[in-house]
């Protein structure tokens, strides 16, 4: 397929904010896409080159892109930077400058989607001497042959900032419409209206597509299977070493509400203040993944040994929580004490001695070739109790209580808090595992006010003694289509010194590689870094795209274990806003 066809779709998607219209445009495009192109096209539609769980990164900084534009257009870097400051979008800069580029290219050719995809993917495999020059050559080759609009989206894809508003929901529905629209009598009537002759059939096919995505975390393989037929789509299964999005809990205010949601009796478990680890094993090989789907096997070699020695089975996928503890007292640490281990690539042994973790296993999704996510939770719990040899402060099945007695739960709750935990979990005994969903059959109860997990999307360079640090951070929540909506600015809760907690220097180090544009002291950031925030109140506000603002927001934790797509939703913000008004 010609890349220009895809680019024209990007443009149409960018021009509309209507979700149904986006879904229609996507579905019509997917209908005409050939089988051999569908996988890479669906990745490109998301502004991706690899599935979410793939560790490969293209590793291209803004400075390298400036040089590539310079090489392909003949325009000086100084002039390119001036354009960048005006627009704040390197994609628009490339579009504008390619339009008036000085060099006449004799060897340019029509770009195909495959050519663009292959060139950009190659960037991830380059390393060693001459890497920068090789990357420049691959990018400049594309820009030299590109039309202005193509250049715009090549650069945006490189920066992982496509800006066309294609969320998971729209893409999932587009695959359903494209693959099964005729079977369910679907008609697109307008940007706000569709007609479906059989809603039951529609829900059936939508559930099949959603299941396939839940098991793969990859719409490209889902769309490819759907292109082949319903049978291929239904045959998609779990695979070891391909991590799933974890199941998430809703919050309840008290024990009574916990039982109302999960039934009686329910499974009650300690809620630890750690971070999720998904353990995958096949034969003698073990890999560990965070809830962001990032592999952390090298960072936690002791956990690999715990699993190897104390869990029976040739192949399995376990869901667990790694809780840090004080090696002297044995008392659990808050998450922030061990968060630095997640990205540590050196001094691993020293860090594991200083900040040891205990793996608390609470679910199993796959065992010796069998997918277990549809099995009742109680059966899954009984299985892990048979498979795991408990070794306190190394690995164990998470402490639990199955009961319908509120007084027993109250005591269990107090015991959990005394041990240094966050609170307790309620789980419905006959419930399935739902990857990537916040479900009503698993809820959490904590004694503190509801905090928010928000993404940092902007900041300002500090002044005075903070001149080299980013500060005054702009925060955002997320809507159902994956768009980030600003909800206020925050500057408190960050420390001056790293030994006191998350510091301005540490946050700046995390955020600097994510800078998309700068205007004066203001910086726009790629939405990657998630922080946990508390606040005094949520207020209505026309100043932010969410329509809300946080009063006196304060950072609690840097959540390196959170993926930006898992941050707090605008629906949760609205619920909390109206909830506080009732009090």
pLDDT beyond 50 at 277? yes
- What's the pLDDT band for 147 if we cut at 50, 70, 90? very high
Question: pLDDT value at position 106?
Answer: 45
Shared domain check, 517 and 396: no
CB–CB of 435/246 below 8 Å?
A: yes
DSSP H or E stretch at residue 24: helix 19-32
Cα four-point dihedral sign 366, 372, 377, 381: negative
Cα gap 528→299, rounded to integer Å: 21
CATH code assigned at 260: 3.30.470.30
Residue that the structure tokens 């479906």 belong to: 196
Shared domain check, 371 and 274: yes
Helix (H, G, I), strand (E, B) or coil at 412: helix
Q: What share of the chain is helix, strand, coil (3-state, %, to 5)?
A: 40, 25, 35
Within 10 angstroms of residue 309's Cβ, the number of other Cβ atoms is 11
Reduced 3-state DSSP string for 237-282: CCCCCCCCCCCEEEECCCHHHHHHHHCCCEEEEEECCCEEEEEEEE
**Does residue 115 fall inside a structural domain?**
no
Question: pLDDT value at position 61?
Answer: 83
Residue that the structure tokens 């007084």 belong to: 407
Closest to 311 in 3D by CA, of 327, 288, 341 = 288
Burial class (CB in 10 A: 0-12, 13-18, 19+), 369: exposed
Question: pLDDT value at position 581?
Answer: 59
Residue that the structure tokens 């000085």 belong to: 102
Shared domain check, 472 and 440: no
Number of domains in the chain: 2
> pLDDT tens digits, residue range 344-367?
778 888 888 888 999 999 999 999
**Could you say which of 48, 271, 281, 446 is catalytic?**
271
Sheet of 266-271, strands arranged across:
248-251, 438-445, 423-427, 266-271, 400-403
Shared domain check, 459 and 381: no
**In this structure, what DSSP letter does residue 518 have?**
E
Closest to 383 in 3D by CA, of 317, 468, 463, 436 = 317
pLDDT beyond 50 at 244? yes
Q: Which of 397, 419, 445 is the last residue of a domain?
A: 445
Average pLDDT rounded to a whole number, residues 331-353: 81
Question: pLDDT value at position 184?
Answer: 87
- Cis upstream peptide for 265 (omega within 30°): yes
- What's the pLDDT band for 146 if we cut at 50, 70, 90? very high
> pLDDT tens digits, residue range 527-580?
999 999 999 889 999 999 999 999 999 999 899 888 898 899 999 999 888 877
**Does residue 414 fall inside a structural domain?**
yes
Shared domain check, 425 and 362: yes
Shared domain check, 337 and 284: yes
Cα gap 455→437, rounded to integer Å: 19
Paired residues of 402 in beta bridges: 267
pLDDT beyond 60 at 113? yes
Q: Which of 392, 413, 445 is the last residue of a domain?
A: 445
Provide CB contacts within 8 A for 103, sequence distance 6+: 72, 73, 74, 144
pLDDT beyond 50 at 240? yes
Question: pLDDT value at position 480?
Answer: 82
- Cis upstream peptide for 182 (omega within 30°): no
Q: What's the chain's length in residues?
A: 583
Shared domain check, 491 and 434: no
Q: Compute the mean pLDDT over every residue in the chain, rounded to the nearest whole number.
A: 91
pTM: 0.83
> pLDDT tens digits, residue range 416-464?
998 888 899 999 999 999 998 888 899 999 886 678 999 999 999 988 7
Q: Identify the domain containing residue 311 by its residue range.
A: 248-445
pLDDT beyond 80 at 498? no
Residue that the structure tokens 């220097």 belong to: 505
DSSP H or E stretch at residue 417: helix 406-418
404 compared with 59, residue with greater pLDDT:
404
pLDDT beyond 50 at 388? yes
Question: pLDDT value at position 108?
Answer: 56
Structure tokens at 210: 């959603």
**Does residue 63 fall inside a structural domain?**
no
Question: pLDDT value at position 98?
Answer: 87
pLDDT beyond 80 at 228? yes
Percent with pLDDT over 70 in the chain: 98
Average pLDDT rounded to a whole number, residues 490-518: 87
Could you confirm whether 271 is annotated as catalytic?
A: yes
**Does residue 415 fall inside a structural domain?**
yes
Shared domain check, 439 and 361: yes
Structure tokens at 299: 């960072």
> pLDDT tens digits, residue range 149-186?
999 999 999 988 898 989 888 999 999 999 999 888 88
pLDDT beyond 80 at 102? no
Count helices and strands (H / E) in the chain.
Answer: 21, 22
CATH code assigned at 523: 2.40.50.140
Q: Which residues of 205-218 are buried (b: 16+ CB within 10 A; e: fewer)?
A: bbebbbbbbbbbbb
Helix (H, G, I), strand (E, B) or coil at 476: strand
Average pLDDT rounded to a whole number, residues 462-468: 83
> pLDDT tens digits, residue range 61-84?
888 999 999 998 999 999 999 888
Cα gap 262→429, rounded to integer Å: 8
Reduced 3-state DSSP string for 93-140: HHHHHHHCCCCCCCCCCCCEHHHHHHHHHHHHHCCCCCHHHHHHHHHH
Helix (H, G, I), strand (E, B) or coil at 37: helix
Cα gap 583→565, rounded to integer Å: 30
Q: Which of 415, 445, 475 is the last residue of a domain?
A: 445
């Amino acid at each position: 397929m010609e890349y220009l066809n895809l680019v024209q779709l990007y443009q149409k998607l960018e021009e509309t904010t209507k979700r149904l219209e986006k879904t229609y445009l996507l579905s019509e495009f997917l209908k005409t896409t050939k089988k051999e192109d569908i996988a890479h096209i669906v990745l490109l539609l998301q502004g991706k080159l690899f599935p979410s769980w793939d560790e490969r990164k293209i590793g291209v900084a803004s400075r390298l892109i400036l040089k590539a534009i310079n090489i392909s257009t003949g325009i000086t870097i100084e002039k390119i930077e001036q354009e960048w400051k005006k627009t704040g979008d390197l994609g628009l800069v490339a579009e504008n400058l390619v339009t008036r580029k000085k060099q006449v290219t004799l060897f340019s050719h029509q770009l195909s989607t495959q050519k663009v995809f292959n060139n950009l993917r190659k960037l991830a495999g380059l390393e060693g001497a001459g890497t920068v020059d090789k990357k420049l050559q691959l990018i400049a080759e594309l820009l030299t042959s590109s039309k202005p609009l193509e250049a715009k989206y090549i650069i945006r894809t490189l920066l992982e900032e496509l800006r066309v508003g294609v969320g998971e929901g729209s893409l999932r529905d587009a695959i359903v419409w494209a693959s099964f629209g005729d079977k369910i009598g679907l008609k697109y009537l307008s940007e706000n209206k569709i007609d479906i002759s059989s809603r039951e059939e529609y829900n059936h096919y939508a559930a099949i597509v959603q299941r396939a995505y839940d098991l793969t975390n990859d719409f490209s393989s889902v769309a490819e299977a759907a292109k082949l037929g319903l049978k291929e789509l239904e045959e998609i299964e779990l695979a070891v070493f391909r991590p799933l999005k974890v199941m998430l809990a809703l919050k309840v205010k008290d024990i009574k509400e916990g039982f109302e949601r999960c039934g009686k009796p329910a499974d009650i478990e300690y809620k630890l203040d750690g971070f999720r680890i998904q353990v995958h094993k096949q034969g003698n090989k073990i890999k560990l993944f965070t809830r962001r789907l990032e592999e952390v096997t090298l960072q936690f070699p002791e956990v690999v040994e715990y699993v190897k020695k104390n869990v029976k089975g040739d192949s399995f996928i376990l869901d667990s929580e790694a809780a840090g503890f004080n090696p002297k007292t044995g008392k659990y640490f808050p998450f922030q004490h061990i968060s630095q281990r997640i990205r540590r690539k050196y001094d691993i042994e020293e860090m594991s001695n200083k900040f040891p973790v205990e793996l608390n296993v609470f679910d199993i999704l796959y065992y010796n070739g069998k997918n277990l996510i549809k099995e009742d939770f109680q059966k899954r719990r009984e299985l892990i109790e048979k498979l795991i040899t408990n070794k306190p402060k190394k690995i164990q099945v998470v402490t639990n209580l199955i009961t319908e007695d509120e007084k027993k739960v109250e005591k269990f709750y107090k015991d959990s808090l005394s041990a240094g935990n966050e609170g307790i979990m309620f789980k419905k005994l006959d419930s399935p595992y739902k990857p990537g969903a916040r479900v009503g059959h698993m809820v959490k109860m904590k004694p503190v006010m509801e905090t928010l997990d928000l993404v940092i999307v902007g900041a300002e360079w500090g002044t005075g003694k903070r001149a080299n640090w980013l500060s005054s951070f702009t925060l955002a929540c997320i809507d159902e289509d994956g768009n980030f909506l600003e909800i206020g600015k925050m500057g408190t809760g960050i420390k001056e010194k790293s030994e006191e907690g998350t510091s301005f220097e540490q946050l700046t180090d995390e955020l600097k590689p994510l800078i998309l544009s700068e205007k004066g002291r203001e910086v726009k950031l790629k939405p990657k870094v998630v922080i946990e925030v508390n606040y005094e109140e949520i207020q209505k506000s026309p100043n932010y795209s969410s329509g809300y603002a946080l009063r006196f927001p304060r950072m609690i934790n840097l959540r390196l274990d959170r993926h930006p797509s898992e941050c707090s939703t605008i629906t949760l913000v609205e619920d909390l806003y109206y909830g506080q008004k009732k009090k």
